[in-house]
């Protein structure tokens, strides 16, 4: 009778440490991936580079799982495979893939991260369309956030030194990523979250590679610079295998309200790195509109936090 009370306190600290480590990884690594994408697409074609990134990451993670738990760990049913394929289309392909295309077209990494930060606002909109009843403060925060998002798009579309289609594409990728995050809990997925990540990345990478070849992209490894290769390798290992796996695990192991806090930490990291490394301009509209979006995200997440 005394076994359970004695072991519970011993299990709690490691659990908290794992959650903290996974959150820190998502905070810092995903914030830096926008810089990595910007460096990668200086030489590499966007669709093929993104496809190769996710395909290699999926194979690497699958090999690790097989070595640790055998190939049975990767066995899934047909319904689970179709669910993974749907998430692959929404997250790696239309989410990260379109971000890569947008940055190759000239979208600054810092501005891209700020637009992607609106994911929790889109999730709230999907919940409202599903006839759920979010808190009034969350709705108010979403309205403020979309106003800030509109200001970012309008100001940079009129005065930006890059095509407007790039920021519009980033906004579309944010909508897709939010839908994938929202619908994930409603799908039949493998019990092992890391197996889910394997199939999402492998399927998404294969689709992006095929799209790149169909679009006429030429893969010329010898023509790419060392910097682009280093950025690609960083995105494979840290951006995909490590951070994406940590994100999927967090969705299964921690409150969504806590996991979603990455949305207003990543942009700060991305803007600073873009300014320091790529010398991207941090204009007044970006600062003002970005601050409004991040404030709105904070309001929404605070309102949606479950109460004890």
Q: Which pLDDT score, from 0 to 100, does residue 9 have? A: 44
Q: What is the pTM of this model?
A: 0.80
Q: Read off the pLDDT of residues 199-230 as tens digits, 9 standing for 90 and up.
A: 999 999 999 999 999 999 988 998 999 999 99
| Confidence band for 39, pLDDT divided at 50, 70 and 90 | very high
For range 14-31, the mean pLDDT = 80
**What is the C-alpha to C-alpha distance for residues 104 and 40, in angstroms, rounded to an integer?**
9
| Residue 26 and residue 181 in contact, taking contact as beta carbons nearer than 8 Å | no
pLDDT digits (tens, 9 = 90+) for 111-154: 787 778 777 778 878 877 888 777 777 777 777 777 776 776 66
Read off the pLDDT of each residue in 273-282 and give the average, rounded to a whole number: 74
Number of Cβ atoms within 10 Å of the Cβ of 185: 10
C-beta separation of 47 from 209 below 8 A = yes
Q: Mind listing the pLDDT tens digit for each residue in 44-91?
A: 999 999 999 999 999 999 999 998 888 888 989 999 999 999 999 999
The full DSSP string for 213-240 is HHTT----GGGS-HHHHHHHHHIIIIII
Q: Where are the domains of the chain?
A: 29-304
């Amino acid at each position: 009778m005394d076994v359970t009370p004695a072991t519970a306190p011993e299990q709690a600290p490691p659990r908290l440490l794992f959650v903290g480590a996974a959150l820190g990884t998502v905070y810092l690594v995903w914030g830096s991936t926008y810089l990595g994408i910007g460096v990668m697409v200086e030489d590499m074609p966007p669709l093929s580079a993104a496809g190769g990134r996710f395909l290699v990451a999926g194979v690497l993670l699958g090999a690790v799982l097989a070595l640790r738990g055998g190939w049975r760990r990767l066995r899934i049913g047909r319904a689970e495979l179709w669910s993974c394929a749907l998430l692959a289309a929404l997250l790696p392909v239309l989410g990260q893939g379109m971000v890569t295309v947008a940055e190759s077209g000239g979208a600054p990494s810092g501005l891209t991260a700020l637009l992607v930060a609106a994911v929790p606002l889109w999730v709230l909109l999907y919940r409202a369309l599903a006839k759920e009843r979010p808190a009034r403060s969350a709705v108010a925060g979403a309205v403020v956030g979309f106003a800030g998002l509109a200001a970012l798009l309008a100001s940079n579309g009129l005065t930006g030194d890059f095509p407007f289609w790039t920021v519009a594409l980033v906004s579309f990728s944010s909508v897709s990523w939010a839908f994938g995050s929202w619908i994930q809990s409603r799908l039949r997925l493998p019990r092992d979250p890391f197996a889910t990540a394997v199939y999402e990345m492998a399927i998404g990478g294969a689709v992006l590679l095929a799209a790149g070849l169909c679009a006429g992209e030429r893969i010329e490894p010898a023509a790419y610079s060392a910097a682009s290769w280093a950025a690609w390798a960083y995105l494979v290992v840290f951006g995909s295998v490590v951070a994406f796996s940590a994100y999927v695990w967090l969705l299964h192991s921690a409150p969504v309200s806590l996991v979603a806090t990455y949305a207003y930490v990543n942009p700060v990291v991305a803007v600073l790195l873009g300014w320091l490394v790529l010398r991207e301009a941090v204009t007044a509209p970006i600062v003002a509109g970005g601050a409004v979006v991040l404030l709105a995200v904070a309001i929404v997440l605070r309102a949606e936090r479950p109460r004890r």
